Amino acid sequence: LRRAGLCHDDLYVANIFGDTCAVLRAPPFDLVHVAHMRAEDALRRVASGEQDGFAAVPFCALYLDGCGGSSLPIEEMVGALFHARRRSVNPPRFALGFSLTQAEPSGSSLFAREQAVLSALASVCRREGYQMVRIADEPHRFGFQQDSLPRIEGGTLTTW
């Protein structure tokens, strides 16, 4: 991301593992905004003192990764993104991506789990007055070639 010109002060990370948070805060990463909590909790919490919270951060893009195959954590993150505390800071348009892996104990298909997240996102978008557009549906509108966006790579599905 740094090679692409993204300033690391613009990166926000939430992680439930303290060791991972410590690594992200230390060189060579030196991330400033690392919350030692679940992403959905960080999205609802206002920063205070030493405790990071992202409720007041107007994101232009988000990438949600539940580090697994269950759709439920991603659905919870989507709900938190549109929490009442964030209504005044969410911009009128932003990009959202998420990943799901094939590792899911219920046996639900990867595409059924993707659809569960997309349905939750569509529902909250309607409620909040957002229009939902998927890049994969019309890649040319966003400067991509049809075949340049692989949806599944190494057992992980990514959707924008």
Residue 66: per-residue pLDDT: 76
d(CA 34, CA 42): 10
Q: What percent of the chain has pLDDT over 70?
A: 98
Please, what is the average pLDDT of the chain? 88
Is pLDDT at 157 greater than 90 in this prediction? no
Is pLDDT at 50 greater than 70 in this prediction? no
Q: Which helix (H) or strand (E) holds 79?
A: helix 72-81
Residue 26: per-residue pLDDT: 95
Query: With contact defined as beta carbons under 8 Å apart, do 16 and 67 qualify?
Result: no
Residue from 95, 93, 112 nearest 104 by CA? 112
Q: Which helix (H) or strand (E) holds 111?
A: helix 110-128
Is pLDDT at 45 greater than 80 in this prediction? yes
Tokens representing 142 are 């966003």
CB neighbours of residue 35 within 10 Å: 21
Tokens representing 113 are 């789990």
Between 108 and 144, the more confident residue is 108
Residue 129: per-residue pLDDT: 94
pLDDT in tens, 119-150: 999 999 999 999 998 887 888 888 887 777 77
CB neighbours of residue 81 within 10 Å: 22
Lowest mean pLDDT among 3-12, 22-31, 91-100: 3-12
| Res. 89 pLDDT band, cuts 50 70 90 | very high
